[in-house]
Amino acid sequence: MPHPFDSFRLDKRRAVITGAASGIGKAIAIAFAQAGAQVVLLDLNAEKLAEAARAVDSAAQSFPCDVSSEDSVSQAFERIAAEGPCDILVNSAGIAHVGTIDSTSPEDFDRLFRVNVRGTYLCMRAAVRQMQAQQSGVILNMASIAATSGLPDRFAYSMSKGAVLSMTLSVARDYLASQIRCNCISPARIHTPFVDGFVARTYPGREAEMFETLARSQPIGRMGTIDEVALLALYLCSDASAFVTGADYPLDGGFFNLR
């Protein structure tokens, strides 16, 4: 008799994960591999990507890819298609930025757009074409609470994550008939290497104090973990969420409703 948790398994599924060399992307790759998926890791940093692939699973594949480049994405997905299906795509590649509209240069703005918006678009476009051919697939994007909340000093980042949320809803609507589900996760502050680096650069000598301040900005009293993001991603990419599409899932420690 099937176990209720069997629906969380990803056996015989092939999952492509961008930004998989570190942080949230790597945690998702590990969780998916442990759930039985064949994982394909994409990232710009070839050296860290190879290390991550070895840490994730001995059978994991990895392809260096600049998600902001149409040629790089096309080449990566052609290699993926040549070896098997793309059952799941997780768009985790992204960059952050701190600044108001006044302090955000056009170069900063364009850089955020290229990676977070164009990168998500290009990878979804490539994956959808493969998923349409097989009449099935799941896409999960990483948005943010910044998409729907006026966070201070996050002008360009909020712009980019708002676009990710809107693209998620459009793809979910347009490909219902092709049995392609598309959702996104909107995390609040997650403890990643980026957070540690930001605190060290911005508040030298005050790291412990500022880390505690950032943690307390979530009503629950701490930052989220990359493993918590990975577990929600596993749910949204498995058959356990077969009735879920066009959804934006907050993972925010009570940020929206309990402040």
Which sequence positions are flagged as catalytic?
157
Q: What angle do CA 201, 202, 203 make, to 5 degrees?
A: 100
Comparing CA positions, the residue from 241, 235, 189 lying closest to residue 212 is 189
**Distance separating alpha carbons of residues 16 and 117, to the nearest angstrom:** 18
- Main-chain dihedrals φ then ψ at residue 139, nearest 5 degrees: -120, 135
Contacts 24+ apart (CB under 8 A), 207-216: 214/189, 215/189
Closest listed residue to residue 17, CA positions, set 34, 36, 40: 40
Q: Which residues pair with 183 in a beta bridge?
A: 140
Q: Which two tokens stand for residue 8?
A: 């969380």
Backbone angles phi, psi at 254, to 5 degrees: 85, 10
Query: Distance between CA 249 and CA 96 in Å, rounded?
Result: 20
